[in-house]
Amino acid sequence: MQIIPLFEPGVSIRQREVAETLAEVYSIVICVDQVEKMYLKDVIPDESEYNRVTARLLQQYRAIMANNDQDHDFQMAFGGSLQEFCKRYGVIASNGVLRLEKGIPLTTEHAAAAGASKSSTSTASATNAAGA
Amino acid sequence: EIDPSSLVTAQNPALNQLYESVARDYALSDTMHVLARLLNRDAVNLDVFVKKTRQLGREQFFTRMHIQNIIERLRQ
Amino acid sequence: KLWQDLRQRIMEKYHDDALKKQLEVQIQHLDDASGKLEMDMGKYEGLDEFLNDYIGTRTQYHLKREKLTTWIQQGELKM
């Protein structure tokens, strides 16, 4: 058997595009996971830095998902859910997966939880701030 | 002098490719861990850490996709 | 004849073990080399050059480890 190329000659430009998008999703999950682990280990001591970087990654993930929501090729390759995608590509990044599913940075999540015990209005504003 | 690892070289180029891709997959994970250690000792800043982790992640995705393609073809 | 066969088998076994040992040494060297690269990261002009060297060394390390594992699993090396 001969050398097997990354993309077989018959692979369409469309399929390559889907692979590029999946690579972005993959790298976002890994990166969000790493950033959160670094924050939890206090390697990133500045909370606003953690927030800035994580919010940006979450936003990029949301944009990719929104853009490809109706794309059949993408959805087939992605597997329909982040969990399924991670299973397919052997991603072990529980912090990253949870963060992307929740859609808000860890610090905002905790602020929201703390706010919820006092008043429901602060929870709403914290969530809105994260979405902005 | 002979290189002992060259003796374990598979006859099948696709199988060799599989060995190499799997090794690279591991190496990329190791390199992401190195980036984390570099961030820890302030040898890189957070933005560089993020940028390079993303880059390594992308490459790892393509490496894993390739591994799956090779395995699939080897099974045929 | 019997003696010759036995001697041949002992020689092969010795050869096999020696090569295996040599491979183990190479693996250890590659592991040490990557550790040294990490410590000397500051000597690099750019981060990308460092990362490329690091990936290369770790790939060789894992490749040789995979081969050693396969070798051990197969019992004997078929030449």
A82 or C9, greater pLDDT: A82
- Cβ-contact C77, C21 below 8 angstroms: no
Q: Do A2 and B14 touch (CB under 8 A)?
A: yes
Side chain identity at residue A113, one-letter code: A
How large is the average pLDDT for residues C35-49? 94
Is A111 inside any structural domain? no
Closest CA to A83 of A91, A72, A71: A91
Closest CA to B27 of C63, A26, A4: C63
**Helices and strands (H and E) in chain A: how many:** 7, 0
pLDDT tens digits along A3-22 = 899 998 888 999 999 999 99
How large is the average pLDDT for residues C60-71? 92
- Cβ-contact A75, A34 below 8 angstroms: no
pLDDT tens digits along A23-60 = 999 999 999 999 999 999 999 989 999 999 999 999 99
Is the pLDDT at A91 greater than 50? The verdict is yes
pLDDT the model gives residue C60 = 97
Confidence of residue B8 (pLDDT cuts 50, 70, 90): low
How large is the average pLDDT for residues B48-59? 98
pLDDT the model gives residue A63 = 97
Q: Do B8 and C60 touch (CB under 8 A)?
A: no
pLDDT the model gives residue C64 = 94
Write the CATH number for A70. 1.20.1440.200
User: How many domains does chain A contain in total?
Assistant: 1
Task: Quickly count: other Cβ atoms within 10 Å of residue C22's Cβ.
Answer: 15
Radius of gyration for chain B, computed over Cα atoms and rounded to the nearest angstrom: 16
Is the pLDDT at A124 greater than 60? The verdict is no
The residues in B 22-61 lying below 8 A from C, measured between CB atoms, are 22-24, 26-28, 30-31, 34-35, 37-38, 43-44, 48, 52, 56
| A31 CA: distance to closest CA in chain B (Å) | 6
Confidence of residue A132 (pLDDT cuts 50, 70, 90): very low
Is A1 inside any structural domain? no
Mean of per-residue pLDDT scores for chain A? 86
A18 or A104, greater pLDDT: A18
Is A69 inside any structural domain? yes
**Is the minimum CB–CB distance between B72 and chain A shorter than 8 Å?**
no
Helix (H, G, I), strand (E, B) or coil at B43: coil
Superfamily for domain range C2-74: Helix hairpin bin (1.10.287.660)
Is the pLDDT at C71 greater than 50? The verdict is yes
String of b and e for A48-63 (b: at least 16 CB within 10 Å)?
A: eebbebbbebbebbee
**Which range marks the domain in which residue A57 is found?**
13-103
Is the pLDDT at A122 greater than 50? The verdict is no
Radius of gyration for chain C, computed over Cα atoms and rounded to the nearest angstrom: 18
